[in-house]
Amino acid sequence: MPYEIKKVFASLPQVERGVSKIIGGDPKGSNFLYTNGKCVILRNIDNPALADIYTEHAHQVVVAKYAPSGFYVASGDVSGKLRIWDTTQKEHLLKYEYQPFAGKIKDIAWTEDSKRIAVVGEGREKFGAVFLWDSGSSVGEITGHNKVINSVDIKQSRPYRLATGSDDNCAAFFEGPPFKFKFTIGDHSRFVNCVRFSPDGNRFATASADGQIYIYDGKTGEKVCALGGSKAHDGGIYAISWSPDSTHLLSASGDKTSKIWDVNVNSVVSTFTMGSNVLDQQLGCLWQKDHLLSVSLSGYINYLDKNNPSKPLRVIKGHSKSIQCLTVHKNGGKSYIYSGSHDGHINILCSELALEPRAGEVGVSCSHERRPPPAGSSQSEQPRPLTRAWVHALATLLMGHFLLCSLEWLLAASAPELLLLPVVTLLALSLHKQYNY
Cα(216)–Cα(225) distance, integer angstroms: 7
Specify the pLDDT at position 373: 45
Check pLDDT > 50 for residue 362: no
Give the pLDDT confidence of 19-73 residue by residue, as tens digits: 999 999 999 999 999 999 999 999 999 999 899 999 999 999 999 999 999 999 9
- Domain residue spans in the chain? 24-316, 323-436
Cα(213)–Cα(373) distance, integer angstroms: 36
Specify the pLDDT at position 414: 54
- In the sheet that 411-413 helps form, which strands lie side by side, from edge to edge? 391-396, 402-406, 411-413
Specify the pLDDT at position 432: 37
C-alpha closest to that of 179 among 165, 194, 168, 164:
164
* Residue 332: C-alpha distances to residues 325, 329, 335, 336, 346 (Å): 23, 10, 8, 10, 21
- The helices-and-strands tally (H runs, E runs) of the chain is 0, 35
From the CB of residue 416, how many other CB atoms can be counted at a distance below 10 Å? Answer: 9
Give the count of alpha carbons within 13 A of 300, CB side only: 31
pLDDT bin (cut points 50, 70, 90) of residue 1 is: low
Specify the pLDDT at position 353: 54
Give the pLDDT confidence of 294-338 residue by residue, as tens digits: 999 999 999 999 999 999 999 999 888 888 888 887 777 777 788
Check pLDDT > 80 for residue 264: yes
* Residue 289: C-alpha distances to residues 69, 244, 292, 319 (Å): 17, 6, 8, 27
Specify the pLDDT at position 370: 37
Pick the CATH number of 24-316 from 2.130.10.10, 3.90.1170.50, 3.90.340.10, 3.60.15.10: 2.130.10.10
Cα(372)–Cα(415) distance, integer angstroms: 10
Check pLDDT > 90 for residue 433: no
Instruction: Find the range with the poorest average confidence among 47-51, 163-167, 257-261, 416-420.
Output: 416-420
Mean residue pLDDT across the chain? 85
Specify the pLDDT at position 321: 86
DSSP-assigned letters across all residues of 140-197 = B---S-SS-EEEEEE-SSSSPEEEEEETTS-EEEEETTTBEEEEEE---SS-EEEEEE
